[in-house]
Each structure stands twice: as structure tokens, then as C-alpha cells.
A = this chain, B = another copy of it.
Amino acid sequence: MTVLFDKVCLIGIGLIGSSLSHAMRAGKLAGRIDVYDHDAEARTVTVELGLADQVHDNVAGAVMDADLVILCVPAGAVADLAPEIAKSLKTGAILSDVGSVKQAVVRDLGPHVPDKVHFIPGHPIAGTEYSGPRAGFADLFKGRWCILTPLPGTDPKAIERLQLLWEKMGSQVELMEPGHHDQVLAITSHLPHLIAYTIVGTATGLEETTQREVIKFSASGFRDFTRIAASDPIMWRDVFLNNREAVLEMLGRFTEDLTALQRAIRWGEGEKLQEWFTRTRAIRRSIIDAKQA
């Protein structure tokens, strides 16, 4: 394969950052990879696993001369990093990220981006419940979508270059408006995580003997929720704080529906329940047909 970017800089080397390194190494897509992380332990692991050609403990050094800079930190860390990154970016560089919320990064990073730097926010729809630099693997993005949310007026050639990188890592790319991204992800990702966190927390509030049984008999449905609710707390705190409006809007709809089903259970309205449960089966079918199952 051909090198697509001579120097790539990854800022933050957790699950996503380390997976990017593995995937770019596997495809020989980057001439060299430089990594910055604020965490000494993460930097040590980066060296140990050979995730970088050079590891930096300051942002500016890592960003210097990079053709592509990708932020792979929690949404709440972007605002503080923005000025430091901005001042070291070279002319013609592409600046991207992998954050789960897109309006927030446009808000926090956008104003700092110098002219002649191509700012193209991104979000790979791929992940696991593990975090940290040891959690990454080269195939994470294979067969998955990556959403890019460039602002109007962005150079199409730069978008194409970044798109090609994701495609070489096995992803299909979709372009979307940041606000729309945040709405779609609120229902497909943020609300499911919030609900899973809630119910697993509810279970921890039960008396101790029941709690032991909850663990023992988790295979009956609960287990799937615990996997989701094991995801990184800081990442998810930042997602909810940074996509507040869309999450609250979807949560409102969900609560209305839940109240209606609760009422149907209380009043023994079997037909209403059966009709609802039948409708949801069709969605599963569509997901299987779309090969996302």
C-alpha cells in the first residue's frame, strides 16, 4: 500500500488512538506516527507496544510538521488542548478527531483553527467497552461506518484524502452535518448507554442477597446491559455533558413511551403490549438486512 500521510500525529492514545496506530501500521498508511498523551503511564505503554515512532509529553512537539492530526481524547479535553494544537499546525495540514459528539468539537476547536488548515471532524462508529492504549487493535474499524462532518467550504480534496485513509482502514465513510450527527447518535448510542448505565445502577441499589442473584442470573437479559455500562466513565460523562440537548430530547420521547407501556402493564392491556413488541421485531430485521447485526 501507499503512504497517505508522511507524518500523522495522534493526540490521546486510548482505545481509539491505539487502534488507529495499529490500523495505519498494518496498512502502511503513515510515513511516521507521533503520539502525545498527558498520561505518563499511557506514554510508557505506547513505547512498549511500538504504537509511535516518537512519543511526546508536550502537544506542540507532537503536532509540529504533521500532515494529519487526529484528536482521540474525551470531548471535555478538547477545549484546553485547542490553543496549543492550533499554534503548531503546519499550513495545509488536516485536523480531525474521533469524538462521539460533533457540534461540541466544532464549538471548542473550530475557532482556533488557522486559515490554510483543513478542519474535518470525524467519528468512527466502532468501539468496545474497554479503554486505554492496550485495548486497541487493527481491525476495530473494519466493516464499520465512519462519519465525517466537515463545515461548508472545506476543501473537497482534503476531505477525499481523509476519506481514503478511513477506507484503507476498512471503513465506509458518510458525510453529515454536525447537528444531525448529534441527533442520530443521541438515539443510536447516547441514550442506549444512559439507559444501560441507569438499570445497572438500579441493580446495585438492591439489597445485597438480591444483588448476588442478579449477577448469577444475568444471562437472562441484564448481561448485555452490563457490557454497555462498563464503558469508560469519563468518555461518557463528556458525551452527555456535550450533547445535552439532543440526549434530553430523545430521553423525553423514551420516557413518554415507557410510561405508556407501564400503563398498559398496570391495566392489563395485552393487545397494546403485543402490538408494540411486534413492531420492534421489524427493526431487527432491517439491521440484519443492512448487515450491521
Q: Measuring CB to CB, which residues of chain A are less than 8 angstroms from any residue of chain B?
A: 76, 125-127, 129, 144-145, 147, 174, 183-185, 187-206, 210, 213-231, 233-234, 236-238, 240-241, 244, 247-248, 250-251, 253-255, 257-258, 261-262, 265-266, 268, 270, 273-274, 276-287, 290, 292-293
Contact = CB atoms under 8 A, between A and B. Distances in A.
Contact of A198 (B214, B237, B257): B257
Tally of this chain's copies = 2
Contacts of A206: 187
Given A237-B273, A240-B265, A188 B280 contact: no
A130 to B, nearest CB: 11
B236 A287 contact: no
Given A233-B277, A254-B202, A262-B251, A287 B244 contact: no
B280 A197 contact: yes
Contacts of A189: 217, 220-222
Majority secondary structure of chain A interface residues (helix, strand, loop or mixed)? helix
Nearest to A232: B277
Contacts of A199: 187, 191-192, 195, 254, 257
